């Protein structure tokens, strides 16, 4: 298990540092900011590169919701769920710590600006309410897991799963950054929220519950779609 857990730690670290780092450091950089599209690509690229680099070791989950969805779909043993989730969260917190050390090196840095945290209501980029945020996170995580479960199925074309998964995450961010700043990953949400505290930790529950619900539904649907031989 040690190599698997180390790979999950590193993969989640890379996802949060690359994705949230692009949002905090580069999204609105004067004159050459990468904006919503750039941040979306950054999240997708971290998963794509991490999947190919570390996926052969651990499966490349980097996300508690992915681990839960794979378990629900019959692709992952229950005995490994808790260890995977623990190191995923640890990797996300470590990445947020590194990002804080970098971002705080600039005069005027303020954690209250959000630090790429997920939120709803007043803390949604587009001021979307709790209901819209919950629906978004459930549906986006559901579709993310459907792509993952389909692309990694034994009947899928070998070697292309990482590309499909990375592009799916990019698309998900393009859709949902305005609503919740896009989670679909409880670990990704936890890392920045622990540094911001206050409202970010107060709203963190949604970004655990909604992605896991979406993942569980996807696992069940996957069993009905992919498991019967045709």
- Residue 100 sits in a domain whose CATH number is 1.20.1080.10
CA–CA gap between residue 157 and residue 137 (Å, rounded): 28
| Nearest CA among 45, 46, 49, 58 for reference residue 8 | 58
DSSP state letters, 145-168: HHHHHHHTSTTSPTT-HHHHHHHH
pLDDT at 230: 45
21 pLDDT above the threshold of 90: yes
pLDDT at 228: 59
Number of domains in the chain: 1
Q: What is the pTM of this model?
A: 0.91
3-state secondary structure 114-129: CCCCCCCHHHCCCCCC
Kindly report, residue by residue over 140-199, the tens digit of the pLDDT.
999 999 999 988 887 777 778 889 999 999 999 999 999 999 999 999 999 999 999 999
pLDDT at 112: 82
* Structural domain range at position 104: 2-226
Long-range CB contact pairs, 148-151, < 8 A, 24+: 148/66, 148/69, 148/70, 149/69, 149/70, 149/73, 149/75, 149/218, 149/219, 149/222, 149/226, 150/222, 150/225, 150/226
Q: Provide the pLDDT confidence category of residue 68 given band limits of 50, 70 and 90.
A: very high
Residue 21 φ/ψ, nearest 5 degrees: -60, -40
Residue 221 φ/ψ, nearest 5 degrees: -65, -40
pLDDT at 154: 79
Kindly report, residue by residue over 191-209, the tens digit of the pLDDT.
999 999 999 999 999 999 9
| Nearest CA among 67, 71, 72, 74 for reference residue 89 | 67
pLDDT at 218: 96
Averaged pLDDT for residues 20-37: 81
pLDDT at 54: 94
pLDDT at 82: 96
Q: Are 179 and 173 in contact (CB under 8 A)?
A: no
Name the one residue in this structure whose structure tokens are 């970010």: 200
């Amino acid at each position: 298990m040690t190599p698997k857990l180390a790979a999950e730690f590193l993969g989640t670290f890379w996802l949060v540092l690359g994705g949230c780092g692009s949002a905090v450091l580069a999204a609105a950089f004067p004159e050459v900011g990468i904006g919503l599209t750039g941040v979306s690509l950054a999240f997708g690229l971290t998963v794509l590169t991490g999947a190919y680099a570390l996926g052969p070791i651990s499966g490349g989950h980097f996300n508690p919701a992915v681990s839960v969805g794979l378990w629900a779909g019959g692709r992952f043993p229950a005995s490994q769920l808790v260890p995977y989730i623990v190191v995923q969260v640890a990797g996300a917190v470590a990445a947020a710590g590194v990002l804080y050390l970098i971002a705080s090196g600039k005069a005027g840095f303020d954690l209250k600006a959000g630090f790429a945290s997920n939120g709803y209501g007043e803390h949604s980029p587009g001021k979307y309410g709790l209901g819209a945020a919950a629906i978004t996170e459930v549906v986006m995580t559901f579709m993310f897991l459907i792509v993952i479960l389909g692309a990694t199925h034994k009947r899928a074309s070998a070697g292309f799963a990482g590309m499909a998964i990375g592009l799916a995450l990019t698309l998900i961010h393009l859709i949902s950054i305005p609503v919740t700043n896009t989670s679909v990953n409880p670990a990704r949400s936890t890392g920045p929220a622990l540094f911001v505290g206050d409202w970010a930790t107060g709203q963190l529950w949604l970004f655990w519950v909604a992605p896991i619900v979406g993942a569980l539904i996807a696992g069940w649907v996957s069993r009905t779609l992919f498991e019967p031989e045709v």
